[in-house]
Amino acid sequence: MSNKAKKKPTKVKARKPRGFADRSAVEIRAATAMMENIRKVYELYGFDPVETPMFEFTDALGKFLPDTDRPNAGVFSLQDDDEQWMSLRYDLTAPLARYVAENYQDMPKPYRSYRSGWVFRNEKPGPGRFRQFMQFDADTVGTASVAADAEICMMAVDTLSALGLKRDDFIINVNNRKLLDGVMESAGLAGDENAGVRLSVLRAIDKLDKFPVEEVKKLLGEGRLDESGDFTKGAGLSDDQIETLMGFVDFRDLESSAADANAATLTELKASSFMENARFAEGVAELETIAQLSAASGYDSTSIAIAPYIVRGLEYYTGPVYEATLTFEVENEKGKVVQFGSVAGGGRYDGLVGRFRGEAVPATGFSIGVSRLLTALRQKGLLEDYEQLGPVVVLVMDRDQLVSYQAMTKELRDAGIRAEMFLGNPKNFGKQLAYADKRNSPVAIIEGSDEREAGQLQIKDLMLGKELSADITDNEEWRAKNPGQKTIARADLIAEVKAVLARVQQS
């Protein structure tokens, strides 16, 4: 025998990459039920489903992510064997633009579609910030009418209402990117040569819900040093340019929850000196149309509110932008009571499809963050109990009777009853019951040789057994009483199991 010590097999450590999460059966069922309710509203509005692949050519996705300064930053990419770069999609909008451009001649215009799926961001993960998450979008492509934007906002209201949220639990805030574009033009930032600066300004203004105004001013200027010592380079604007932009920031004070607040906000915007700018004035007119169309359909400013402080961070927005904000308070991970905040958003992106066609193709859409919305509904107590009952488990008492047990299981399934035959080691009866208990099974079916000869079965109501055994502290007494277990005729299997299931569902 060799003196060399045998090498132990190397074990791979079970672990997940940072920023990715597993999902349990309860979470999957809850998300599926919620998304079905969302789908019903989208269908009611006349939208049709479509699905695109998770991978797209990197140049087709484009560079539109916020807070990225490198060509492929923020995405997961790989090079195919033909040397073309592919990337996992970072949202569902850019792939839709490619799909529409590729099938443009064959589809009706406007084209109305919805889709759901996983998206991926190659960003630093943190609490509540994942690299993989699910979105559920709806878009209208092929019309420049602001009525399409108004309709998206109304559909967002109806979607959140269909999920059980009350009208005072949320608000759809609407702005127009043309307002900020007009302000930036007034600050001398027009032209292609200032495109990068304008993007930096958008990112800075978008931080107003996180940072005080003075900190945002630093991001508009030379830059900001955060508490950790990290420095973020600013937009490099002059003091005069910053002050011009601060005139736009003052519109944040127009926020109101009154039913007629939209009219008051529009009056203030029309009185602004920025109305001398044509793009700003065009944006105000579009917001007024959205408010009028919404009000005519019964959605006043308590549901759809003109909110000039909403920016939305993605670069491709060109007109109206909107954000669904949940207004109720929750306790965050630090124990602080805060407003829940945004769960969905979107806007008009008239240039995205045109990248492929060389002509303008107007489009507008809305995206729901599935996981975040699910968290909100859970905190509001609006999710059903998706701790679903496990299947009925047919125990294996005699190995030579597997055919009989399998036939019994099939009989249960044919009756619409979720069931399985125990497939583990049947040697230990107690372990079979422990398995059924761990599966949260309502019923265990027992057929030994004595029961088989007598044409009978033992049916064990596991839920009732748990209830009754709570008052039994002695093992001998528990064995004697065998709570929840009774003998039935083999022919009564389906009826007896259905009776137990009915009792469990009512309790």
Residues 400-433 have pLDDT tens digits of: 999 999 999 999 999 999 999 999 998 899 999 9
In 3D space, the residue among 312, 318, 315 whose CA is nearest the CA of residue 344 turns out to be 312
Is residue 16 in a domain?
no
pLDDT for the residue numbered 373: 94
pLDDT in tens, 107-159: 999 999 999 999 999 888 877 778 999 999 999 999 999 999 999 999 999 99
- Decide if pLDDT at 445 tops 60: yes
In 3D space, the residue among 48, 42, 56 whose CA is nearest the CA of residue 99 turns out to be 56
The torsion defined by the Cα of 158, 160, 162 and 163, in degrees rounded to 10, comes to: 170
Bridging pattern class, strands 320-331 and 170-176: antiparallel
DSSP bridge pairs for 367: 137, 345
Query: Are the CB atoms for 342 and 121 separated by under 8 Å?
Result: no
Per DSSP, which regions of 65-190 are E strands? 77-79, 85-88, 111-120, 132-141, 170-176
Bridging pattern class, strands 419-421 and 392-394: parallel
Is residue 114 in a domain?
yes
pLDDT for the residue numbered 413: 97
Bridging pattern class, strands 443-446 and 392-394: parallel
Is residue 18 in a domain?
no
Mean pLDDT, rounded, for 385-401: 89
**Model confidence band, residue 476 (pLDDT cutoffs 50, 70, 90):** low
Higher-confidence residue: 211 or 139? 139
**Model confidence band, residue 10 (pLDDT cutoffs 50, 70, 90):** confident
Conformational region of residue 455, where left means phi above 0, alpha means psi within -120 to 50, and beta covers everything else: left
Write the DSSP symbol of residue 125: -
Q: Could you tell me the CA-to-CA distances from 418 to 33, 214, 392, 395 in Å, in that order?
A: 19, 61, 6, 15
Is residue 225 in a domain?
yes
- Decide if pLDDT at 248 tops 70: yes
pLDDT for the residue numbered 469: 60
Query: Are the CB atoms for 396 and 446 separated by under 8 Å?
Result: no
pLDDT for the residue numbered 9: 79
Q: Residue 138's domain is classified under what CATH number?
A: 3.30.930.10
Mean pLDDT, rounded, for 30-41: 96
- Decide if pLDDT at 44 tops 50: yes
In 3D space, the residue among 104, 87, 172 whose CA is nearest the CA of residue 345 turns out to be 172
pLDDT in tens, 63-107: 655 444 444 568 898 888 998 889 999 999 999 999 999 999 999
Residues 191, 234, single domain; the answer is yes
In 3D space, the residue among 210, 174, 159, 209 whose CA is nearest the CA of residue 377 turns out to be 159
Bridging pattern class, strands 55-57 and 132-141: unpaired
Residues 152, 271, single domain; the answer is yes
Q: Cis check for the bond before 110: say yes or no (omega within 30 of 0).
A: yes
* Tokens 């670069």 belong to residue: 315
Instruction: Calculate the CA 70 to chain-centre distance.
Output: 27
Mean pLDDT, rounded, for 293-315: 88
Residues 356, 218, single domain; the answer is yes
What is the domain count for the chain?
2
Task: Count Cβ neighbours within 10 Å for each residue of 325-361 and write b for 16 or more, e otherwise.
Answer: bbeeeeeeeeeeeeebebbbbbbbbbbbbbbbeeeeb
pLDDT for the residue numbered 282: 97
Q: Which of 320, 348, 379 is the last residue of a domain?
A: 379
Average pLDDT, the chain: 88
Residues 373, 452, single domain; the answer is no
**Model confidence band, residue 191 (pLDDT cutoffs 50, 70, 90):** confident
DSSP H or E run through 433: helix 429-438
Write the DSSP symbol of residue 10: P
Residues 363, 445, single domain; the answer is no
Which range marks the domain in which residue 352 is found?
25-379
Helix (H, G, I), strand (E, B) or coil at 307: coil
**Model confidence band, residue 389 (pLDDT cutoffs 50, 70, 90):** confident
**Model confidence band, residue 506 (pLDDT cutoffs 50, 70, 90):** confident
The 3-class SS string of 221-241 reads: CCEEECCCCCEEECCCCCHHH
Residues 66, 100, single domain; the answer is yes
Q: Residue 450's domain is classified under what CATH number?
A: 3.40.50.800
Q: How many CB atoms lie within 10 A of CB 153?
A: 25
Query: Are the CB atoms for 176 and 321 separated by under 8 Å?
Result: yes
Q: Which of 353, 379, 405 is the last residue of a domain?
A: 379
Residues 373, 396, single domain; the answer is no
Contacts of 68 (CB under 8 A, 6+ apart): 74
Residues 366, 410, single domain; the answer is no
Residues 423, 277, single domain; the answer is no
Bridging pattern class, strands 456-461 and 337-348: unpaired
pLDDT for the residue numbered 68: 46
Instruction: Calculate the CA 330 to chain-centre distance.
Output: 18
Q: Which of 379, 406, 435 is the last residue of a domain?
A: 379
Is residue 190 in a domain?
yes
